Amino acid sequence: MRNELTKLGRKYAYRQSALMAFIVTFTTLIIYFIWGYEPAKSAALGGVIGVIPNILFAYKAFKFAGASASKKVVESFFSGVKLKMALTAFLFALAFKFVVLIPLPFFGMFCLVMALPLITPFIIKQ
């Protein structure tokens, strides 16, 4: 059951995710031109591991809204957080197992993506 109240939250979350993807792409390009392919690959992978779970969380968390669906709202947020954490751990495991990574750009970009929700309310106006 989709609610009209969810549109605003979902729209904001998707705009935030699009901004994250843009910043990851832009920063990866800068890293590529300054340090080369391998650091840029590591940075891009760290960014992707941060952005994809956020997009899925936004989809899952903003399914319900309103006072009549308060229990469903809480359940969808909790299940969204669980999905986000599990997917992040899974993507980290895949990256560590199958890709040769440079730690500084990889974790630096991941930390940047995790910090972006703190500053995006100042960048994205509703």
Range in 10-14, 86-90, 103-107 the model is least confident about: 10-14
Between 119 and 65, the more confident residue is 119
Residue 72 has what pLDDT? 79
pLDDT tens, 15-62? 888 999 999 999 999 999 999 999 999 999 999 999 999 999 888 877
Average pLDDT over residues 100-124: 92
The H-assigned helical ranges of 1-126 are: 6-35, 37-61, 70-98, 103-123
Give residue limits of the domains in the chain. 6-121
Among 29, 28, 17, smallest CA distance to 105 is for: 28
Which tokens hold the place of 47?
Answer: 């960014």
- Count Cβ neighbours within 10 Å for each residue of 65-101 and write b for 16 or more, e otherwise: beeebeeebeebbeebeebbeebbeebeeebeeeeeb
Distance CA 112, CA 107 (A): 8
Ramachandran angles phi, psi of 60, nearest 5°: -75, -40
pLDDT tens, 56-82? 988 887 776 665 667 877 888 888 899
